[in-house]
Amino acid sequence: MKTHGQLLYQCDISDEITNEIADNEHFFFAPRLYEIENISALKQEVFGPCVHIVRFKGDEIEKVMDDINGTGFGLTMGIHTRIEQRAINLAKLSRAGNVYINRNIIGAIVGVQPFGGRGLSGTGPKAGGPYYLTRLVKEITTPGAKKLNLIPQQAQASNNDTDAQAVLLMDRASTAEKIWRLTKLNTRISCVSEVLAKIAHIEIIDNLADDLTQTLQAARSQLIDIEKHLKEPTVLPGPTGESNTLYLENRGNIICFADENVTFHFWLLSVVTALATGNTVISVVSDLFYDEAIAFRDEFIATGEDKNTFQIARLCHLTTLLAQPGLSGVVIDNHCDRKHYISEKLAERQGAILPVISSKYFDNLMQRLLTEKAISINTTATGGNTSLMTLDEED
């Protein structure tokens, strides 16, 4: 902070300490207040009595949110404003796991404010939330330890050109993700449904699929389940004057993997689920899937949505893509050999711990491709909880 910030105020350490312990013999840190130019000056989470202030212009608020999200940390965020719509918009833009509006940002209560972060601040479902228990179970289809083969390094050779292509794919996906995740649910569902209707008449896809009619039926059923699941947030209990709501949101940029060991059925369901839940997708495919994946991509682009929301990559791009900071997770069939190579590469990464998603049951796949955001609002700060005025008196 001596080089990146200006010290505005510093409390004195208690005489009780300084009279008994020399300055160079204790580790007490008095509360301090710093002003910094940008949040990028903070390279890690700061735990302690230290507050950092960043000034910004009112019309730059979205850039400020991008800077905050860009740190990779996402535990809690506090928003203070009397403009209700601004609070809602900022809460949507935030990638923090818990957002508190016009109130303190501590004291999360089980069942009221389920608690847990994202990225570098959390890896799984929220403690005390309605989805916590289901994330602690294990699918019975998971292969036993004797069947796992952790030895092969199944990477295809890359070069400077393919590395640059992979970086560009992820950069484009990150830009598109900011728009796609805020796109209305009905729009996303309609877009993917339109693609499914069109690929039903593409011959090369029909030839690759074991039973295209059954796969398309399963995909449409999955879209219906996603719409039901995401249509309304979960309203949680709380005291008078406080609103607590749990939202389900996308993870981010997802790799959907497919090679000769992956069925078309699994690949299509993984892509459909990832897109409909608001994730951008880079599908890394072998030659077996490439033409069919391109056909799906072309039909997606024909809907008018951003072409970078769904992109195709080859196996030679895989290793570089797995190292990109913008990646949020990988979907791969549980019985695919490359699952273990992918797991190894994700474990070698610096930064957030990312999931390898291999759920055979597609309701679990949907859950794994979503993250939770709890928003707690002090309604009294913006004129009270208006919903109380509409309550009918009980007999």
Give the residue with greater pLDDT, 359 vs 245: 245
Three-state DSSP state, 208: helix
Q: Which residue range forms the structural domain that includes residue 307?
A: 149-233+250-373
d(CA 221, CA 132): 25
| pLDDT, average across residues 111-134 | 86
SS3 at position 152: coil
Residue 98 lies in a domain: no
Quick check: 124 pLDDT over 90? no
Residue 27: Cβ within 10 Å count: 5
- CA 78 from centroid of its chain's CA atoms: 19
Kindly report the CATH number assigned to the domain that includes residue 357. 3.40.605.10
Whether residue 108 is contained in a domain is answered as no
- Residue 340: is its pLDDT beyond 80? yes
Tens digit of each residue's pLDDT (9 = 90 or more) over 185-211: 999 999 999 999 999 999 999 999 999
The predicted pLDDT at position 152 comes to 46
> pLDDT digit string (tens) for 341-371?
999 999 999 888 899 998 878 888 999 999 9
Q: Does the pLDDT of residue 386 top 90, yes or no?
A: no
Q: How confident is the model over 72-103, as pLDDT tens digits?
A: 899 999 999 988 899 999 999 999 999 999 99
Q: Say if 344 falls within a structural domain.
A: yes
49 vs 168: CA distance, rounded Å: 41
Considering the domain boundaries, does residue 2 fall inside one? Answer: no
> Is 73 inside a domain boundary?
no
pLDDT for position 153: 46
Query: What's the pLDDT at 143?
Result: 52
pLDDT of residue 303: 97
Mean pLDDT over residues 283-308, rounded?
96
Do the domain assignments include residue 142?
Answer: no
Evaluate whether residue 15 is within a structural domain: no
Q: Please name the residue that has the structure tokens 């903070």.
A: 42
Q: How confident is the model at residue 394 (pLDDT cuts 50, 70, 90)?
A: low
Instruction: Compute the mean pLDDT over every residue in the chain, rounded to the nearest whole number.
Output: 88
Q: Check if the beta carbon of residue 367 is closer than 8 Å to that of residue 93.
A: no
**Structural domain includes residue 128:** no
pLDDT confidence of residue 140:
65
Q: How far, CA to CA in Å, does 113 sit from each of 80, 187, 276?
A: 18, 30, 26
Q: Which residues contact 190 (CB under 8 A, 6 or more apart)?
A: none
Domain count, the chain: 1
206-222: burial string, b at 16+ Cβ within 10 Å, e else: eebbeebeebbebbeeb
pTM: 0.87
Residue 134: the pLDDT is: 80
